[in-house]
Amino acid sequence: PGLDNQLFSLLDTDPTVDGVRDIVKSWLNQTALDSPSTWVELCRKVMSKTGSVASAGAPIEPPSLDLIDGDIDGGDEEGEDFVVDKSTEDATQRSDGMRKNKQMSRDSIQIPPRWRTQLFALQCLRQVVEVIYLSGNKEHFDLVTAKRGKQSGKDYLVLRVADLIKMAFIASTAVVGEMRLEGLTVLRDVIEKFAATPDPDFEEAALLEQYQAQIGAALTPAFTAESSPEILSAAVRVCAVFVGSGIVKELYRMGRILKLLTTALENCR
Which DSSP state fits 187?
A: H
Which DSSP state fits 198?
A: B
DSSP string, 200-226: TTSTT-BGGGGGHHHHHHHHGGGGSTT
Determine phi and psi for 10, rounding to 5 degrees: -65, -35
Could you give the count of Cα atoms lying within 13 Å of 207 in the half-sphere of its Cβ? 20
CA 207: distance to chain centroid? Answer: 23
Q: How many Å is the Cα radius of gyration of the chain?
A: 28
Which DSSP state fits 252?
A: G
Q: Which of 59-73, 86-100, 118-132, 189-203 has the lowest mean pLDDT?
A: 59-73
What pLDDT, on the 0 to 100 scale, is given for residue 209?
93
Q: CA–CA separation, 44 vs 82, rounded Å?
A: 60
Q: CA–CA separation, 269 vs 216, rounded Å?
A: 23
With a cut of 50, say whether residue 104 has pLDDT above it: no
Which DSSP state fits 209?
A: G
With a cut of 50, say whether residue 152 has pLDDT above it: yes
Angle, alpha carbons 246-252-258 (nearest 5°)? 65
With a cut of 80, say whether residue 174 has pLDDT above it: yes
What pLDDT, on the 0 to 100 scale, is given for residue 35?
94
Residue ranges of domains in the chain: 3-49+111-267
Could you give the count of Cα atoms lying within 13 Å of 260 in the half-sphere of its Cβ? 28
Q: CA–CA separation, 112 vs 117, rounded Å?
A: 10
Q: CA–CA separation, 96 vs 31, rounded Å?
A: 51
